[in-house]
Amino acid sequence: MQDLLRSVSDSYPEFSAGQKKVGDLFFKEPIFLAFSSALEVGKRVNVSESTVIRWTQKLGYKGYADFQQVVQRKLAEERLQKAEQNVPEPVAAQTFLENLLDAEVLSIVKLKKSINEEELLQVVDKISQANRVYVAGDFFDYGIAHWFANWLNLALDHTEIMNPSTGEYYTQLSKMGEGDLVVAFVFPRYTRIVIDTLKNAKGHGADVIVLTDTENSPALAYADYALTVSVNSTLSIDSYTSVHALLTSIMRFVYVKEQAKVNGNWAKAEVVYKERNLFI
């Protein structure tokens, strides 16, 4: 981040009066520029949106979006470096909300550094090739499992969510077989019923993909493929930001791999949406 601050400082004498206002804001609140639009930045210092864009171009960037991505990355890397070195932040440096949001940014950076793209592509291949996909998640994991299963079924038309509180759950267990796939969300606190689900799936010949938080997760004993992603916990509230980011990446890879099929299924859904006049 320091190199970027020096770059702005070196270019400062060449800025117009309006551009200097943007530069002053950047020195004071770089995080505001990192997560605000050029229009919002301009309003903050009473200059036009085009002045903000020209300011980034003056620094050598194609436009505001390119500059913003660099700032976001550098801020996240700086936070990660401080966390790894156990360097405490000054008490009054940021608001409580800003610290909470920075923790979410940090979780994405950790995911970026730890995820193995080859393993992720293997997971995408298994999802695409499976006869049926069953998505399992219990307790606090059920919400994110349900969201992912709904999208996957809309996209590929071969996915079911498993709800242990229904009779259908046991029917699903009985129907599993070779060629089927279970995608399980297993984050703390781990429940016995999800582990039992994985054990049953393996017993019926289905493959298992586990998304979990650590290498010590009890679910890994049943996993054919595993993606580990840390869950940030603050004030006893778990944040699934990094899990959502990982799933969004999987979904985008699925779309790229199965674009024709996904678009076809989406088109069918759109016909129904229009017939029912569903959206305003």
Please check whether residues 8 and 81 belong to one and the same domain: yes
Convert the pLDDT of each residue in 215-248 to its tens digit.
Answer: 899 999 999 999 999 887 665 678 899 999 999 9
Convert the pLDDT of each residue in 166-203 to its tens digit.
Answer: 999 999 999 999 999 999 999 988 999 999 999 999 99
Convert the pLDDT of each residue in 118-131 to its tens digit.
Answer: 999 999 999 999 99
Phi-psi region of 205 (alpha: psi -120 to 50; beta: other; left: phi over 0): left
Please check whether residues 131 and 206 belong to one and the same domain: yes
Positive/negative CA dihedral, 146, 149, 153, 154: positive
276 band by pLDDT with thresholds 50, 70 and 90? very high
Residue 166 domain flag: yes
| Distance between CA atoms of residues 202 and 191, nearest Å | 18
How many structural domains comprise the chain? 2
Residue 269 domain flag: yes
pTM of the model: 0.67
Which pLDDT belongs to residue 212?
Answer: 95
Which among 263, 280, 272, 256 has a CA at the least distance from the CA of 121?
Answer: 256
**62: pLDDT strictly greater than 70:** yes
Please check whether residues 266 and 127 belong to one and the same domain: yes
Mean residue pLDDT of the chain comes to: 89
Please check whether residues 121 and 207 belong to one and the same domain: yes
Residue 101 domain flag: no
Residue 132 domain flag: yes
DSSP 99-127: HHHHHHHHHHHHHHHH--HHHHHHHHHHH
92-104 residues labelled b (16+ CB within 10 A) or e (exposed): eeeeeeeeeebbe
Which pLDDT belongs to residue 97?
Answer: 77
Q: Cβ neighbours of residue 169 under 8 Å, at least 6 residues apart?
A: 162, 163
* Under 8 Å between Cβ of 178 and 205: yes
Domain membership of residue 258 as a residue range? 117-275
Residue 81 domain flag: yes
Q: Cβ neighbours of residue 201 under 8 Å, at least 6 residues apart?
A: 134, 173, 176, 180, 182, 208, 222
Which pLDDT belongs to residue 109?
Answer: 84
Residues facing residue 181 across a β-bridge: 133, 207
CATH number reported for the structural domain that contains residue 84 in this entry = 1.10.10.10
37 band by pLDDT with thresholds 50, 70 and 90? confident
Please check whether residues 42 and 127 belong to one and the same domain: no
For residue 135, give both structure tokens.
């998505």
| Domain final residue pick, 88, 108, 138 | 88
Please check whether residues 181 and 48 belong to one and the same domain: no
**87: pLDDT strictly greater than 60:** no
**91: pLDDT strictly greater than 60:** no
| Distance between CA atoms of residues 107 and 94, nearest Å | 18
SS3 187: coil
